[in-house]
Amino acid sequence: MTTTQGVPALPIRVCAALVEGDLAAGGELCLIRRERPTGAQYSLPGGILHPDEQVPEALARELREELGLDVAALPGRPRLLWAQDQATTRPGRPGTFRRLHLIHLLAVDREVRAALPAAELDAEDRTRVVWVTLAEAAGLHLYPPVGPALGGLTGPAADVLLPPVTDRTYAWR
């Protein structure tokens, strides 16, 4: 990957579809709910890969920072589900906003879920952590916008490469 002073040419955001329970029978997905001027925005927990950091370590760090979750203590490991390219404009910022989202699946049990915080740990505004069904999540304003692919978690696997995020498919809140 081409870098400039140690910074990836294309920022990579690692995140997790953190799930508890049997999704086909009503299990739930963990989301970060942010209040925006034009409505709520829901994000999969995660963040930007640091220079010289490996993807698994970055995902573990982000989940620890945001949720206090120790990925190494879980019986299962995160599994890469999807990749999604983003090239959009962003209000208040010049030029094109680029990201490559690497979206992982990580199952947790009821006890782990119960120990997670009700607010994001590293957010200054104490952004809420919420759990919703896949059907509910598919209809929310998600970042990255994986709503249409969520059905693949209970059925046949979706393509790894999701449709790109563009100004036609996503509006910032």
- The domains of the chain are located at 12-153
CB-CB contact of 45 with 135 (8 Å): no
Q: Which residue has the tokens 């739930």?
A: 28
Record the tokens describing residue 64, joined without a space. 């620890």
CB 107 within 8 A of CB 19: yes
State pLDDT tens for residues 156-170: 766 899 999 999 999
What pLDDT digit, counting tens, does each position of 91-125 carry? 889 999 999 999 999 999 999 999 999 999 998 87
Classify domain 12-153 at the CATH class level.
Answer: alpha beta
Cα–Cα distance measured from residue 118 to residue 147, given in angstroms and rounded to the nearest whole number = 23
pTM: 0.91
**pLDDT for residue 1:** 45
Q: How many CB atoms lie within 10 A of CB 171?
A: 11
Torsion of CA 146, 147, 150, 152, to 10 degrees: -80
Instruction: Give me the DSSP letters along the chain.
Output: --EETTEESS-EEEEEEEEES-GGGT-EEEEEEEEETTEEEEE-SEEEPPTT--HHHHHHHHHHHHH---GGGSSS--EEEEEEEEEEEETTEEEEEEEEEEEEEEEE-HHHHHHS-SB-TT-TT-PEEEEEEHHHHHTS-EES--GGGGGGGTSSPPPSBPPPB-TTT----
Predicted confidence (pLDDT) per residue in 62-71, tens digit? 999 999 999 9
Task: Report the distance separating Cα 76 and Cα 72, nearest Å.
Answer: 9
